[in-house]
Structure 1
């Protein structure tokens, strides 16, 4: 069993714009009211780089920045794990549309679009923003991306780590085969120190559905966006309650336990 302390936490989604706004909702103290607020520009980045970021990069960096700030640790000292099942669908869609309609020999893909299309773009922007030379790992594991990323983040107990998972809806026609209801991202800083104790263990066999107090609309969000599988843990952190639940992971399950 792997273990770590939760040193910082944040989230960004409809009606969950940052931990201060999301915590009372996830704790059941306020009603969940979805909104359409867009993630803010990442002010950690230099202005030139900031202008090049799209909504997916901004979605990833918003909770990452807040979680690290809450941890009190220097951002550049953390190794990082970024996870996404979809990557930057809007950028990929724009590139594919341009290639499909371009005249022979026409150059239609801008360098900015191209470098934003790669799966590790948010991790790259994060390294630039923080001046970090620490390792950054980028994960894509379809619907199991969040548990896979959590497992990778906790596999090295010797150093503090930023875990950020995000997913953004794909544009048509990709959305027809890979529907993602809405945007969502969360971030945790894990390491040694004061904070709730998190344990994870990998097991064979199917996972039972989590039985945790969560608003039905938030349960729907957790079903519709792979990154939102984190909501069950986030709700337990918001409530300050112990919990244990399983999530499907490949052919088995990842058991997750939290002790406040």
Structure 2
């Protein structure tokens, strides 16, 4: 992996950031997250769960939290970018997928395997959110699902940038994780619900920031910004230094990119 990253890093990957979607407990939008990062005030009466309008009402109620947050932020990012959701290839990045469903599946298979719910079974796959998105948005473009432990967001961003460098005009990146429960919570802890999405493009756009990435040896600790502190218990928290930097108009962020590797993002 390190040799591959070194080769990719040498190509000076970059993208224009056209749109952002964000959802965390107490912060139901990117506008709310950006305001919180600057003044530390949570909005009043924030919803307890995302409600993605992409899904029909019955599907919206039945969808797992991971699917709900992924679709909510994906749709918000596309709207902010002014891009048609159906036209975009996508990268979905999640450390765990849905550990609540995984816990249910393991417990049921151990105690009464014949009673496994077909609905929960099809929601247990790691690319469930990507599947819901392509169906709901009517997207016929490729969708990729990625997991890479605490480097999941950085590797998802790398995948999106490589797709742009390989010829795609615009790519949607979606990252999300939820709370872990049961025995799995002792070995793969995660708290709350967190999701974010970026619409990234090859061409410059007036008023839109440009992201450039490079890789170095080293390590990155926990983020210290307001968003990183607010959702530090979630498995997708390693992405939050970038969103703190974007919210505060800072010029760089450092993300975990793998064992002994750091992704440095320059924002300009």
Task: Name the TM-score class by shorter chain.
Answer: 0.7 to 0.9
How do 1:48-59 and structure 2 match up within 5 A?
A: 49-59=59-69
How do 1:135-214 and structure 2 match up within 5 A?
A: 135-157=142-164, 158-191=168-201, 192=203, 193-194=205-206, 195-203=208-216, 205-209=217-221, 214=225
Question: Unpaired runs of 5+ in structure 2?
Answer: 1-11
SS of equivalent residue, structure 1 residue 143: coil
How do 1:2-151 and structure 2 match up within 5 A?
A: 2-26=13-37, 28-32=38-42, 37-47=47-57, 49-102=59-112, 107-151=114-158
Q: Deviations over 1:81-106 (max 9, x none)?
A: 1001111111111112212221xxx6
Question: Unpaired runs of 5+ in structure 1?
Answer: none
* Bigger mean CA offset, 13-22 vs 80-89: 13-22
Structure 1 residue 44, shift from structure 2 partner: 1.1
| Partner residue, 2:257 | 249
Matched, 1:219 2:200: no
SS of equivalent residue, structure 1 residue 86: coil
User: Across the two proteins, how many residue pairs are aligned to each other?
Assistant: 250
Change (3 A) 1:141 1:208: closer
RMSD of aligned C-alpha atoms? 2.2
TM-score, with normalisation over the residues of structure 2? 0.85
Q: Deviations over 1:76-132 (max 9, x none)?
A: 111101001111111111112212221xxx621122111100000000000001101
Change (3 A) 1:24 1:231: same
Partner Cα separation in structure 2 for residue 108 and residue 115 of structure 1:
14
* Bigger mean CA offset, 193-202 vs 111-120: 193-202
Change (3 A) 1:124 1:171: same
Change (3 A) 1:211 1:248: closer
Partner Cα separation in structure 2 for residue 51 and residue 219 of structure 1:
29
TM-score, with normalisation over the residues of structure 1? 0.88
Contact 2:21 2:73 in 1 (8 A): yes
